[in-house]
Amino acid sequence: MEKTSTVNVGQWGTFISAKNISGQSADLDMKIEIQNQSEKRQKVSVETNIYFIGSNHNTNGKKAAIFPRSEHDLEPGEKVGFSSYLNLKNPKLWGPAPKQQPNLYRAITKIYHKGREIDRYETVFGIRNVKFDPVKGVFVNGEAVRIQGVNQHHDLGALGAAFNVRAAERQLEILKELGVNAIRLAHNPPASELLDLTDRMGFLVINEIFDCWEKGKSPLDFHLIFPDWYEADTRSFVRRDRNHPSVIAWSFGNEVGEQYTVEEGAAVGKKLNDIVKEEDSTRPTTASMNFAKPDMHFPRIMDVISLNYQGEGIRNALAYQHLKGIRTSPLYPSFHENFLKN
């Protein structure tokens, strides 16, 4: 629970993205939403200062840059969204360990009324350029990065599902010692504290929501309320996490039953894809597939192809011939050929 002034930055009300990134400069675009929850018209000014966060996770008090101050008249109950821009010189880029450094910045946004500070909102972010190449792989800040990842559920074994920061940090430390540099979070939004850790420790993250859509996997799972909540949950998911530099892609589904329903299932997926893009167009989208084939509609609704199991084949080897279930030959080559030429 947070107590705020009646005029304040809205929940998850900031989004900082960067383009034209180099070691010499980066263009920052900050989108801000402020709201007047009072019963009177309010005239306020908004300013945002940028600070570099050091290895001790604190700022040194020296401003790295300042977004231009802006003035706003808000009617009672009104929400206003606006953008602010600046060119940051000599940015310290965020990148995955061990070759790059996970450098972070903190933006402190202040709202003033009649010269008095009435609200303060902090946004931690990183500056990095991520490129997905269908032939050469993933590049971060122009450097090819070999993805060595794991699929990680949110719970902590015997410690349970309630989030424990130190336990999660220890888990990530062990993964880093094993050579892991990327995590796919399965299959629900993670605790925000986990993404704070992946930001600081330099992991690449595929952030995922929904283990099912309209087609349920068990009698009492999310399919019962999916029609009522998919849009609100997806928007909240992206808005909450879109400032985390460790997040390099959004996944809006895991092995969903809609893979089997051809055009109908693809239409549901396109709704989710479009919502994600409305909230954040800077990152690619994906959904994890364990059935969809290269010639189906389903894989075409997303930016990045994500294959579970079937890429290397499912029950395809002689040793598995006695098992029941789906049989799939290795599909990496056919997916690559089909989507590369299209």
For residues 226 and 260, is the Cβ–Cβ distance under 8 A?
no
Question: Which of 78, 117, 173, 255 is the catalytic position?
Answer: 255
For residues 154 and 190, is the Cβ–Cβ distance under 8 A?
yes
Cα atoms found within 13 Å of the Cα of residue 324, Cβ hemisphere only: 0
Phi, psi of 157 (to 5 degrees): 60, -130
Short-list 66, 24, 25, CA closest to 46:
66
For residues 149 and 182, is the Cβ–Cβ distance under 8 A?
yes
Active site residue 264: no
For residues 192 and 225, is the Cβ–Cβ distance under 8 A?
no
Phi, psi of 70 (to 5 degrees): -130, 155
For residues 105 and 62, is the Cβ–Cβ distance under 8 A?
no
Q: How far apart are CA 69 and CA 66, in angstroms?
A: 8
Q: How far apart are CA 189 and CA 209, in angstroms?
A: 5
Q: Which residues pair with 206 in a beta bridge?
A: 184, 249
Q: Which residues are catalytic?
A: 255
